[in-house]
Amino acid sequence: MDFFTAQDQARRKTGRLVVLLVLAVLALIAVATLAIAIALQLMDGGQPAGQAQLADQGLLSALSVELVAGVAGAVLVIVVLGGLFKRSQLRRGGRVVAEALGGREINLNTRDADERRILNVVEEMAIASGTPVPSVYVLEEESINAFAAGYQTNDAVIGITRGTIRNLTRDELQGVVAHEFSHILHGDMRLNMRLISILHGILLIGLLGGMLLRSMRFRRVGGGKRDNSGAVILALGAVLMLIGYAGTFFGNLIKSAVSRQREYLADASAVQFTRNPKGIGNALVKIGSHTQGSNLQAAQAAEFSHLFFSQGVRLGFSQMMATHPPLNDRIKRVMPSWDGRFEATMPTQQEQNETSDSDEAAARVEPGMRSATLAAVLTGASAQTAINSMGQPDQRHLSQARATLDALPKQLKTAAHEPYAARALMYALLLSEDQGIREHQLEALQKTALPDVYHELMKHAPEVMRLDVQLRLPLIELALPALRSLSVEQVQHFRLCMERLMSADGQVSLLEWTLYQLVLNNLSEQDNGPANLKLDDVQRECQVLLGVLAAAGQDAPVEINAALSAAESELPFALTAPGDVNDMRGLSLAVDRLRRLRPMQKPALLQAMARCIEHSGVIRPAEAELFRAVADILDCPMPPLLMED
């Protein structure tokens, strides 16, 4: 399944789930109305006339339009307010889930060998898939489990238990992490977060019932012949708990059915990504052989059960509530030759030695790969391959990601993991090659930036300015987790410093605009409205974007027009000669509107961008990184363009 089809299906599935959950709420309203009608009749139970009326007229006579409307309004208010409250709690994205489960964010410069190993695996996977590097949280639990949480790629986190990184080999960790990246790329993660909010609204009814029952501890029941309010409150609390649990039961059935199917797809994607079925297969086998399996002890594990790599809570008597398929079925699908035995195996001493040395042995590329990566060329087919691989990268992208990380200077990789130095690296990328302008930029920045950040800038700027152009985007991706740790005030100051650097020469270049937008897109919450536009609705915006892209790779007007003609073949409308290709404000407005394209409308735009940069037969590294950066800004994570000798 390609990226855009998966995104579209996830969006459609969200609508279907809402419909199913609305039906569940309607069932709750019916049950609640009936229960309250019975309670009202029981309140008159002390009067013989009331009992006779109930017997004579039947229960239906107690059901009035006012009662049904009142109960329906109360249930809807509780469900909606509960869901909105939970959604506001989850607004910060995946880190809220990780912290609720007791997770601790791993220090990016940790010296713990296990933590360093998982960070390296996550960084490789992120760069290979074209997504921002997510923050990684460790849960101090001995079971083997993991999860991905967040609404978008820029607020996603990977959570993993201590037992996972301690008991799995690097290949097995790759399989688990690739499985979680599949959830990120295919829209499952966002769907799962929305389910948490919706189900919380239904669960709130049961919580209110529990509160009523607990309140009865402070009052007497049946204090007098005419005072049966205590009994009514007791009955109402019990009824509300039953209603709430009934709603949760049906909601969990829906959640479980959806989750089980998506787990099979994520397993298959992990195999395609790593080209190593034994990686994820043996990880599942180890779960079956582990004494604690994949069960988590965290108090809120049940609420987030559908996010986990494997079943996170004990099932009890029924398999209907299982959020994951049986381990046997999952293992057989990825390793058909598995003998059916769960044998406990631990990493060998050799594997432990390999991973203790900062994971360099596992990530080492072949001799000459580093220089070959920088000397290779991008052909016209490179962009098409990248588009076709969106959401489903493979071993080639993973190998190139390793080569790219190996090509980055070690000093810069270390600096990218520290918040002060990460800001300095972004400033260094904005420095002009013209010495006069650069001195003016540094003078302006020295007055604005924090002294420690400015010191880091002067330390790393020479090496950053010598960096090959195709290594700029990976460096930004590596720095994003450190930048996301900044407070709101620090982000505002960081943006101010970048803006001062860009405006030092009186104009904003395309490279400066791309860097600024890429960082901003991953640090700030983006609310662009519903994704409901078609290409015909954004003709002017496509013209602006493609005009700038064509001018970025060509100088002669004839070549620019040729690039636009190539792009036009993928669009349902004609393109004209570009206007002001230096109007970066206009480009920003155009991209903001293009973000609202429907998922199935974006492939044509990306294909047009690819035709634009590949029409000459060879893609320049600067064009390739601009192409990928704009795709990321449009919420289309694109894997690296594969290079050929």
Rounded to 5, what percent of the chain is helix, strand, coil? 70, 5, 30
Report whether 184 contacts 150 (CB < 8 A): yes
Nearest to 503 by CA among 561, 441, 457: 441
Element (H, E) at 139: strand 135-139
The separation between CA 86 and the C-alpha centre of its own chain, rounded to angstroms, equals 18
User: To which H or E segment does residue 163 belong?
Assistant: helix 162-167
Q: What strand order describes the sheet that includes 104-105?
A: 104-105, 135-139, 157-161, 146-149
The two counts, helices (H) then strands (E), for the chain are 28, 6
Q: Token digits for 153? A: 């790629």
Describe the crossing of helices 451-465 and 419-429 by its angle, rounded to 10 degrees: 50
Q: Which helix (H) or strand (E) holds 378?
A: strand 378-379
Measured in whole angstroms, how far is the alpha carbon of residue 592 from the centre of its chain?
20
Contact 637, 130 (CB under 8 A): yes
Q: Are 458 and 395 in contact (CB under 8 A)?
A: no
Q: By the 8 A CB rule, do 6 and 637 touch? A: no
Beta bridge partners of 533: 597
Whether the CB-CB separation of 571 and 601 falls below 8 Å is answered with no
Who's near 73: CB < 8 A, 6+ residues apart? none
- Residue 132 near residue 522 (C-beta atoms within 8 A): yes
Beta bridge partners of 147: 159, 308
- Report CA-CA distances (Å) from 38 to 31, 62, 63, 69: 11, 8, 9, 16
Which pair of structure tokens corresponds to residue 496? Answer: 């101010």
CA distance 620 to 281: 40
Q: How far apart are CA 3 and CA 269, in angstroms?
A: 11
Strand partners, 148: 158
Whether residue 180 lies in the annotated active site: yes
Instruction: Give the other-Cβ count within 10 Å of 171's Cβ.
Output: 17
Q: Which DSSP category does 409 fall into?
A: -
Give the active site residue among 115, 123, 180, 625. Answer: 180
Cα end-to-end span (Å), the chain:
30
Number of Cβ within a 10 Å radius of residue 394:
16
DSSP code, position 571: S
Q: What is the distance between the alpha carbons of residues 330 and 345, in angstroms, rounded to a whole number?
A: 19
Query: 3-state class of 104 per DSSP?
Result: strand
Q: How far is CA 280 from CA 45, 330, 334, in A?
A: 62, 10, 8
Q: What angle do CA 186, 190, 195 make, to 5 degrees?
A: 125
Q: What is the DSSP string of 514-549?
A: HHHHHHHHHHS------S-B-GGGGHHHHHHHHHHH
Q: ∠ CA 86-88-90 to the nearest 5 degrees?
A: 70
Residues catalogued as catalytic: 180
